[in-house]
């Protein structure tokens, strides 16, 4: 699935590519994990961007019928060769992501 944020002129400001998976990482419509495959933010918004767009996109994802059982969000950080990052959905939505 893809969720997008648009600016006031209707242009795509950022998008997130995601899927719902189970504990083993297999696609499952009633899985407990939102796996973020890709995030893109337009270059004009990258300076301002930290967690702001993610915090706006996760509630949009949670409103999707397949995502209502999701408790966690996770992704791989391949650019920095770090392990998967797993964060509870509530924490991302509250903004406490240190």
Domains in the chain, CATH or no CATH each: 2-94 (3.40.630.30)
Residue 32 has pLDDT above 90, yes or no: yes
90, 97, 84, 55: which is closest to 70 by C-alpha?
A: 90
pTM beyond cutoff 0.85: no
pLDDT band at 51 (very low <50, low <70, confident <90, very high): low
Query: How is residue 1 annotated by DSSP?
Result: -
Q: What distance in Å separates the CA atoms of residue 13 and residue 45, rounded to the nearest whole number?
A: 7
Q: What distance in Å separates the CA atoms of residue 29 and residue 25, rounded to the nearest whole number?
A: 12
What mean pLDDT do residues 28-48 have? Answer: 84
Residue given tokens 């999707």 in the structure block? 64
Residue 70 has pLDDT above 80, yes or no: yes
Q: What distance in Å separates the CA atoms of residue 67 and residue 19, rounded to the nearest whole number?
A: 9
What mean pLDDT do residues 73-78 have? Answer: 79
Residue 98 has pLDDT above 50, yes or no: no
């Amino acid at each position: 699935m893809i969720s997008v944020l648009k600016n006031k002129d209707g242009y795509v400001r950022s998008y997130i590519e995601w899927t719902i998976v189970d504990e083993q990482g297999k696609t499952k419509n009633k899985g407990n994990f939102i796996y973020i495959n890709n995030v893109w933010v337009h270059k004009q918004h990258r300076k301002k961007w930290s967690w702001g767009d993610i915090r706006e996109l996760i509630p949009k994802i949670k409103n999707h019928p397949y995502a209502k059982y999701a408790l966690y969000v996770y992704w791989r950080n391949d650019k920095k060769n770090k392990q998967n990052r797993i964060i509870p959905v509530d924490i991302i939505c509250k903004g406490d992501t240190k």
